[in-house]
Amino acid sequence: MAMKRTTMYSTGGRKLYAVRAADGSFKDIQSYARAHRADMARESAAETATATRKAATKKSPAKKAAMKKSSAKSAKKATRKKAAKKSVARKGATQRATKKSARRK
Q: Are residues 64 and 40 in the same domain?
A: no
Q: Are 17 and 32 in contact (CB under 8 A)?
A: yes
Residues 64, 100, single domain; the answer is yes
Whether pLDDT at 97 is above 80: no
Q: What angle do CA 69, 70, 75 make, to 5 degrees?
A: 100
The pLDDT assigned to 3 comes to 67
Is residue 38 located within the same domain as residue 67?
A: no
Q: Both 39 and 71 in a single domain?
A: no
Residue 4 bridge partners (DSSP)? none
Within its chain, how far is the Cα of 49 from the centroid?
Answer: 19
Residue 52 lies in a domain: no
Q: Specify the pLDDT at position 1.
A: 42
pLDDT tens-digit readout, 2-55: 567 888 999 999 999 988 888 888 888 889 899 888 888 888 888 888 888 888
Same structural domain, 98 and 71: yes
State the DSSP code for 12: T
Domain count, the chain: 2
Look at residue 64 and tell me if it is in a domain: yes
The reply to whether 50 falls in a domain is no
Scored b (16 or more CB within 10 A) or e, 34-66 reads ebeeeeeeeeeeeeeeeeeeeeeeeeeeeeeee
Decide if 49 is inside a domain: no
pLDDT of residue 96: 73
Predicted confidence (pLDDT) per residue in 48-96, tens digit: 888 888 888 776 666 767 767 677 677 777 777 776 666 666 666 677 7
Q: Which of 46, 54, 64, 5 is nearest to 29 (CA)?
A: 5
Q: With respect to residue 54, please indicate whether it lies within any of the assigned structural domains.
A: no
Its domain, for residue 92, covers: 60-104
Look at residue 22 and tell me if it is in a domain: yes
